[in-house]
Amino acid sequence: MSSIAMPADHVQSAKRSRVSIKRRQTVVKSTVAWLIAAAYLFPVYWMVNTSFKTGKDMFSVPPQMFPADPYLGSYKAVFSTTYGIPQAFLNSTIIASSVLILTLCIAIPASYAVARLRSGITTSMMIMLTVVQLLPAIAISVPLFVMFRQMGLTNSYISVILADISVTLPFAVILLRPYFKMFPVEVEEAARLDGLGVVSTIIRIIIPTIRPGIIMIGSFAFLMAWGEFTFALTLTTEQTIQPLTVALNRIIGQYGTAWNDLMATAGIIAAPVLVIFVVMQRYIVAGLAGGATKG
């Protein structure tokens, strides 16, 4: 059965039509993506916009999309001793960095052990970690407060760091386990034959291979501790220990709120989050994609 050959101009016309359709689809997809991104970023823009307005400009009608005369008084107030923001920024940095380091130091060997164990205990352990991960922070904060008060650890960095780790550690183990589980056992055994021990194999062979996942989980652990509020409010009452999230709450006054100061502080809290996502974007995307395929 012979096929009917199409004229050359018809073939070229069909190709141009397919290219045109693909271009229109690309434009539509890009437009939708930009609209979604704009919708998500508009609150961030409005936060920054409000931080540069005076009290009168904030409530002007119609609202100012751009501050005509940027007001820097809010940032001067934030960086002064009025709200204790510089000390709170230092506290948040200490707490979040400690949570990041301790979470990874515990989660990496724990995830390796859970991945290599072949018994029913592993399933029970993963279910327990998932349940702990799902518990609301307020349900954990009360027993933690009682325990830390009896140990004399309230109003200390240790109590807040340990409380934050109770949330970040199950999260890290659950996400890291698939990376260790999918690492070829044959490669690990070959490393053992070359004289490497278990710890040396993890440090020199496995960790460099699963580095994107570790960086992704470490970034999220830092951000979770950076934005945590419930534990910090429950376990600390002294401003010298409280992180930025609690300091932000102090700006909300009983008889009124300085919204421009509040937005300036919120911008300072959000700045490290944006920096981490921009700097670590490649690793976070690779880690999430790798975790999705390995899980």
What pLDDT digit, counting tens, does each position of 236-257 carry? 988 889 999 998 887 876 667 7
User: For position 280, what pLDDT does the model report?
Assistant: 79
Answer whether residue 284 shows pLDDT above 80: no
Q: What is the pLDDT of residues 125-178, one digit of tens each?
A: 888 888 887 888 888 888 999 999 999 988 999 999 999 999 999 999 988 988
Instruction: Please count the other Cβ atoms lying within 10 Å of the Cβ belonging to residue 202.
Output: 19
Q: pTM for the complete prediction?
A: 0.80
User: For position 1, what pLDDT does the model report?
Assistant: 46
Three-state secondary structure along the chain? CCCCCCCHHHHHHHHHHHHHHHHHHHHHHHHHHHHHHHHHHHHHHHHHHHHCCCHHHHCCCCCCCCCCCCCCHHHHHHHCCCCCHHHHHHHHHHHHHHHHHHHHHHHHHHHHHHHHCCCHHHHHHHHHHHHHHHCCHHHHHHHHHHHHHHCCCCCCHHHHHHHHHHHHHHHHHHHHHHHHHHCCHHHHHHHHHCCCCHHHHHHHHHHHHCHHHHHHHHHHHHHHHHCCCHHHHHHCCCCCCCCHHHHHHHHECCCCECHHHHHHHHHHHHHHHHHHHHHCHHHHHHHHHHHHHHC
User: For position 294, what pLDDT does the model report?
Assistant: 52
User: For position 254, what pLDDT does the model report?
Assistant: 64
User: For position 172, what pLDDT does the model report?
Assistant: 92
257 DSSP assignment: B
Q: What is the pLDDT of residues 5-35, one digit of tens each?
A: 566 777 777 777 888 888 888 899 999 999 9
DSSP string across 25-69:
HHHHHHHHHHHHHHHHHHHHHHHHHHHTS-HHHHT-SSPPSS-SS
Answer whether residue 98 shows pLDDT above 90: yes
Q: What is the pLDDT of residues 187-232, one digit of tens each?
A: 888 888 888 888 888 888 888 888 888 988 998 999 999 999 999 9
